[in-house]
Amino acid sequence: MRFVKGFLILMVISIVALAASVAYITQVLDPNDLKPTLVNAAKKHQVQLELKGNIEWTFWPWFGISMDDVRASSNNWGFEADRLEGSLSIFSVLSDTIVIDQLTAIAPKVKLELSHSKQPSVTSEETGASESKTILVRQLAVTGAEIIGLHPDLMLSRLQLSVDSLSPVTASDLLLSAYITFRDYQMPITVRAEIIPTATFDGLTIRKSSIESRDFTLAYDGYLSASSEGQLSGEGQIEVDEFSLRKWLRAGNWPVPDTQNLERLSRLSINTGIKLSSEMMSLRPFSLILDETSIDGRIDLSLRPLNVDLELLADKLNLDSYLSSNPSAQTGSSTMPFPLVTGTYKLDVGELT
């Protein structure tokens, strides 16, 4: 959800800046004279915009504009980019559909201030006319982006984003790659999905998505909808192909559990249905295979407040093989990287050895 906000910020800032420039193209000769106009247009959207670099444009057959050293901020986010580039069809300005050929953000940085309270949005009368036009973006590209503020210990860097034929209420293909840094650990990630933005670009629906990280592959057959107002919903089927968790952790320099049997955690796969809302997440029916153990059941997670209701059945479990090979480590303090969520846990084992 928070990444969706960062994605929408990149898109809205680029579109607002480009559309405002076209509206004044016939009245202004020097594109840098547009800076006060763009700043005022951003203020109507409760955005503080700074244009410290030069503005350049081309006219025919596509109207193109580029801006260097762009900074923008609101009450709960900040944005800066080395360069923004965009181009649109001049003739489309006279029609009901504005055709933007390409939007590119070079080395943008988005910082989310999640501790700030959300302010109600204000829509001025002057923006009503522009909202009646349909916007078609043939290509949206982001290169070398960085997003921080998702979590105190989490950052997305080297983010590359490509979206073809982006338009309201229409499916578009998305390709995203980035490096996720959590504390001292880092892993690459690639996301492929079909996305459908809302008519006003304040929400997003994701379908037919997949996530890859080294030999880890997750496929999601369903939908996930999120909005900038915090609403969330989704339903579908999740499938994680069999992979070696031990090798995946070792490749990312993550801590690998010390087990007596060094072949443990070498075979993991998941298949589950999922229902998701702003208040809860339910995994039913849930099926997991870990090495020679098959686990089935359900997991219900309440998000507000955080609470779990878990009921699982394992056919067999060789517990000794998962214990630490160091006897002193078994009696030491817990080294779990995340705190255990409060709730009800029920695990039945058919055969325990």
Q: Cα–Cα distance between 257 and 291 in angstroms, integer?
A: 15
Q: Cα–Cα distance between 163 and 175 in angstroms, integer?
A: 7
Structure tokens at 79: 């944005």
Mean pLDDT of 2-17: 64
Most confident of 159-163, 253-257, 264-268, 339-343: 264-268
Closest by CA position to 251, among listed 191, 186, 190: 186
For 143-184, write each residue's pLDDT tens digit. 888 888 878 888 889 999 888 877 777 888 999 999 998 888
Residue 139 has pLDDT above 90, yes or no: no
pLDDT attached to residue 94:
55
Residue 57 has pLDDT above 80, yes or no: no
Cβ–Cβ < 8 Å for 225, 205: yes
Q: Cα–Cα distance between 167 and 220 in angstroms, integer?
A: 23
Beta bridge partners of 97: 134
Q: Cα–Cα distance between 42 and 34 in angstroms, integer?
A: 12
Residue 207 has pLDDT above 50, yes or no: yes
R_g over Cα of the chain: 24
Closest by CA position to 17, among listed 78, 82, 103: 103
pLDDT attached to residue 310:
95
Cβ–Cβ < 8 Å for 57, 37: no
DSSP 126: G
Of the two residues 162 and 237, the one the predictor is more confident about is 237
Of the two residues 40 and 212, the one the predictor is more confident about is 212
Q: Provide CB contacts within 8 A for 56, sequence distance 6+.
A: 31, 65, 66
pLDDT attached to residue 164:
80
Residue 130 has pLDDT above 70, yes or no: no
Q: What percentage of the chain reaches a pLDDT higher than 90?
A: 34
pLDDT attached to residue 17:
63
Cβ–Cβ < 8 Å for 168, 201: yes
Residue 126 has pLDDT above 50, yes or no: no
pLDDT attached to residue 272:
98
Cβ–Cβ < 8 Å for 46, 119: yes
Name the average pLDDT for the chain.
Answer: 81
Residue 194 has pLDDT above 50, yes or no: yes
Least confident span in 18-22, 115-119, 317-321:
115-119
Structure tokens at 329: 């480590």
